Amino acid sequence: MIQAALKAFQIGLVAGMRSMTAPALVSYKLSHLNGKLPADSKLHFLASPTATTVLGVMAGGELIGDKLPNASD
């Protein structure tokens, strides 16, 4: 129970810093469960390698775009 709450807190902390990093990390973790996610789960699409790649690129683009000198504050 405490371990699940700690993991939820960590994802919330990451989501507060960068909006695309949390979905990218969740997708990465789900894609490495080796089929342990039920096929009828609503999160099943996040376990696909395509979703993991797209979310990772979006998270990287957000980070790079935020660090550019002409980015708004």
Q: Which domain holds residue 41?
A: 2-67
Measured CA to CA, the distance from residue 63 to residue 58 in angstroms comes to 9
Q: Rounded to two decimals, what is the model's pTM?
A: 0.77
Measured from the Cβ of residue 28, the count of other Cβ atoms closer than 10 Å reads 17
Give the tens place of pLDDT for each residue, 9-56: 888 888 888 889 889 988 988 888 776 777 788 888 888 889 999 999
Give the count of domains, the chain.
1
- Residue 73 in domain: no
| 72 in a structural domain | no
Measuring CA to CA, which residue among 28, 60, 63, 65 is closest to residue 47? Answer: 28
